[in-house]
Homo-oligomer: A and B are copies of this chain.
Amino acid sequence: MGLSLYEIKKIESIARQQKDGISLAQAALRVGGVHEAVREHAREVLLTDKADYYGDSQGLRSLRWDLTQYFKKRYGAQVSLQQVMVSHGAIGAFAALCAGILKPGDEVVLPEPTYPAYKNTVSAVGGRAIFVPAYVSDNGEPWQLDIDRIHKTITSKTKLLVLANPSNPLGAVLKIEELEKLAHLAEKYGFYLVIDEAYEDHVFTGKFDSAVGLAARFEHVVRLGSFSKNFAMSGWRVGSMVASQKLIDYLVPFQDAFFSCPNQLVQFAASYALSRPDLIKEARDKVQDGYRIAMADLAPLVENGMIANMVNPSAAFFAFFKVPDCQNTIDLVYDMLHAVRVAVVPGIDFGPSFGNYIRLCYARNPEYLRDGIGRLKNYFEKTLPKRVHHQGFEQKTL
């Protein structure tokens, strides 16, 4: 059984070759790269040999310690050194978890719309991804998670329930009561609730409740974290997992089996980054600029009905909207990529129920973002109407 790369990866790969292409596809924070203070710290480490040798499979002890202190200060959570595993991005920890927990045929519940990468990681070790359309929004109201609907999909084969909070692509944020309800389901049925908090630092409206405290207290709650979205370190590949010591102890040999250890240099850099919450604020301000630009510049398309169901997100990097009368946006997205050289992500990447949506990442510099949305508007208003049938927008039109 082969796997397919999800569309984002294919689209980014094409966009990377385009001379004047604009990519609003991949969820990287592209507002000037990693902060120069973090890069400078990495440069200093490179004057020594301390990052040169294999390190601890569980991750650098000093970074794990710094994370425990960070969780305490930021969320008031008591997390021990033994409850933290540092990983090659959050996906690295998720890979170890899937390999450790899933037997062939075991089920992983992915409430839709879901982060595209989970499915392949589950499938790569023989697990079955179970999609359930679980986020609902009526008349432009904020997206809400339908926990009862999730509850109904739980079977004796359910081993993991995975949610990004804040949500990618919705930017919806769960309340602590919802997290606790889910945690109790996990304890009751014996599966692991995995909360991926990659976007923890990009909540614009309302409060953010982290699951990190629950992960330290409940046997069946796992919290994933990342340095990709707050410190823009996506290409540096560093993330973390918080879980019970028992689970971490069990998973470390799995992480070792795939990674030996995470890259050492980035772990020193990540420790430094944690000491600079001001850098997070700087990044967040830039993303909020992008948020305002995207909402304002896309508004005319909402008004003229060319895009729909766009709920103002509370968090994260994305505008997520439906294309009316379009069954599946995949052909449209590729056509737009070639016609106006702007890359966005077709909804199908986020689950089968959202195939008629598009995700646009606004974590970009203002000028670049405005250029991209301008092209997208141009495509929707001028190119698209010329295509024979909008309704029947299909492979043949490409």
- CB 8 Å contact bits of A261-282 with B (1 = contact, 0 = none): 1111110000000000000000
Instruction: Tell me if B259 and A88 are in contact (CB < 8 A).
Output: yes
Chain A residues numbered 36-58 whose CB sits less than 8 Å from any CB in chain B: 39-40, 42-43, 46-49, 51-57
Report A208 CB to chain B, min CB distance, Å: 24
A287 interface residue per 8 A CB criterion: no
Instruction: Tell me if A120 and B257 are in contact (CB < 8 A).
Output: yes
Q: List 10 A-B contacts (CB under 8 A).
A: A5-B256, A16-B56, A39-B47, A55-B235, A91-B260, A104-B126, A117-B257, A120-B256, A123-B257, A237-B263
- CB 8 Å contact bits of A234-254 with B (1 = contact, 0 = none): 111100000000000010111
Chain A: residues with Cβ within 8 Å of the partner, total of 66
A121 — which chain B residues lie within 8 A by C-beta?
A: 257-258
Instruction: Tell me if A33 and B9 are in contact (CB < 8 A).
Output: no
Instruction: Tell me if B235 and A52 are in contact (CB < 8 A).
Output: yes
- Residue in A4, A53, A125, A232 with the greatest tally of chain B CB atoms within 10 Å: A53
Q: Which of A24-32, A164-172, A309-317, A321-329 lies on the face that meets chain B?
A: A24-32
In the assembly, how many copies of this chain are there?
2
A261 — which chain B residues lie within 8 A by C-beta?
A: 235, 237
A263 CA to B264 CA in the complex, in Å? 11
A4 — which chain B residues lie within 8 A by C-beta?
A: 253
Partner of A54, one of B28, B47, B124: B28
Instruction: Tell me if A13 and B56 are in contact (CB < 8 A).
Output: yes
A235-B264, A237-B264 provided; 19 other pairs, C-beta below 8 A?
Answer: A2-B100, A2-B253, A3-B257, A13-B56, A43-B43, A52-B234, A53-B234, A89-B259, A91-B259, A95-B258, A95-B259, A99-B124, A120-B253, A120-B254, A120-B257, A124-B258, A235-B265, A237-B259, A237-B260
